[in-house]
Chain A
Amino acid sequence: MSNGNMNLTLKVWRQKNAQTSGKFVTYKAESISPDMSFLEMLDVVNESLTHKGDEPINFDHDCREGICGMCSLYINGHPHGPKRGVTTCQLHMRTFHDGETITIEPWRASAFPVVKDLAVDRSAFDRIQQAGGYVSVNTGGVPDGNAIAIPKVIADEAFNSATCIGCGACVAACKNASAMLFVGAKITQLGLLPQGQPERYRRAQSMVAQMDEEGFGSCTNTGACEAECPKEIKLTNIARMNNDFFSAKLFREEEIHEDKH
Chain B
Amino acid sequence: MSEIKQTFNSSLGKKLIMALTGLFLCTFIIVHLGGNLLLFSNDNGFGFNVYANFLTHFPPIEVIAYLLYLSILVHALYAIILTVKNRKARPVGYAVAQKSDATWSSKNMGLLGSILFLFIVIHMSDFWFSYHNDKTMGFKEYRTDLKTGVTTDVDYNPGYAEFNKSVSVVNDVEIVRVKDLHARVVRSFSSLWYVIFYVIAMGALSFHLLHGFQSAFRTLGWVHRKYTPVVYAVGTWFFAVIIPLAFAAMPVYYFFMHRG
Asked if chains A and B come from one complex, the reply is yes
> Known: A217-B85, A222-B102. Contact between A236 and B90, CB under 8 A?
no
Contacts of B214 in A (CB 8 A): 221
Chain A residue at smallest Cβ distance from B214: A221
Contacts of A76 in B (CB 8 A): 96, 99
> Known: A220-B106, A223-B101, A249-B3. Contact between A77 and B89, CB under 8 A?
no
Cβ-based interface call for B107 (8 A): yes
Cβ-based interface call for B86 (8 A): yes
Interface centre among B11, B89, B93, B215, by most A CB within 10 Å?
B89
Count how many chain B residues have C-beta atoms less than 8 Å from C-beta atoms of the other chain. Answer: 43
Contact present for B11 and A227 (CB under 8 Å): no
Mask of B1-19 contacts with A, CB within 8 angstroms, 1/0: 0011011001111111000
Contacts of B218 in A (CB 8 A): 221, 235, 238-239, 242
> Known: A77-B99, A221-B218, A243-B221. Contact between A208 and B11, CB under 8 A?
yes
Distance between A227 CB and nearest chain B CB, rounded to angstroms = 4
Mask of A210-231 contacts with B, CB within 8 angstroms, 1/0: 0110011111111110011000
Contacts of A177 in B (CB 8 A): 86, 89-90
Q: How far is the CA of A108 from the CA of B97 in the complex (A)?
A: 12
Contact present for A178 and B102 (CB under 8 Å): no
Contact present for A215 and B102 (CB under 8 Å): no
Contact present for B11 and A220 (CB under 8 Å): no
Cβ-based interface call for A176 (8 A): yes
Contacts of B221 in A (CB 8 A): 239-247
A/B interface sample: 29 pairs, CB < 8 A? A11-B95, A74-B96, A76-B99, A105-B95, A105-B96, A108-B92, A175-B86, A176-B90, A177-B86, A208-B11, A212-B10, A212-B11, A217-B11, A218-B14, A219-B11, A219-B15, A220-B109, A221-B219, A223-B101, A227-B100, A227-B102, A239-B217, A239-B221, A239-B223, A240-B221, A240-B223, A242-B221, A246-B16, A249-B7
Count how many chain A residues have C-beta atoms less than 8 Å from C-beta atoms of the other chain. Answer: 51
Interface residues of A (CB under 8 A from B): 11, 13, 24, 74, 76-79, 82, 103, 105, 108-111, 173, 175-178, 208-209, 211-212, 215-224, 227-228, 235-236, 238-247, 249-250, 255
Cβ-based interface call for B94 (8 A): yes
With beta carbons under 8 angstroms apart, the residue of B90, B96, B220 that contacts A217 is B90
Distance between A244 CB and nearest chain B CB, rounded to angstroms = 7
Contacts of B217 in A (CB 8 A): 239
Contacts of A208 in B (CB 8 A): 10-12
Interface of B is mostly: helix
Contacts of B223 in A (CB 8 A): 236, 239-240
Contact present for B88 and A220 (CB under 8 Å): no
Cβ-based interface call for B260 (8 A): no
Q: How far is the CA of A188 from the CA of B211 in the complex (A)?
A: 24
Contacts of B90 in A (CB 8 A): 108-110, 176-177, 217
Contact present for A78 and B99 (CB under 8 Å): yes
Contact present for B12 and A239 (CB under 8 Å): no
Q: How far is the CA of A173 from the CA of B12 in the complex (A)?
A: 19
Chain B residue at smallest Cβ distance from A78: B99
Cβ-based interface call for B222 (8 A): yes
With beta carbons under 8 angstroms apart, the residue of A108, A209, A240 that contacts B94 is A108
Distance between B217 CB and nearest chain A CB, rounded to angstroms = 8
Contacts of A242 in B (CB 8 A): 12, 15-16, 218-221
Cβ-based interface call for B175 (8 A): no
Cβ-based interface call for B168 (8 A): no
Cβ-based interface call for B98 (8 A): yes
Q: How far is the CA of A177 from the CA of B82 in the complex (A)?
A: 12
Cβ-based interface call for B171 (8 A): no
With beta carbons under 8 angstroms apart, the residue of A212, A227, A241 that contacts B101 is A227
Distance between A18 CB and nearest chain B CB, rounded to angstroms = 12
Distance between B39 CB and nearest chain A CB, rounded to angstroms = 34
Cβ-based interface call for B60 (8 A): no
Contact present for B95 and A218 (CB under 8 Å): no
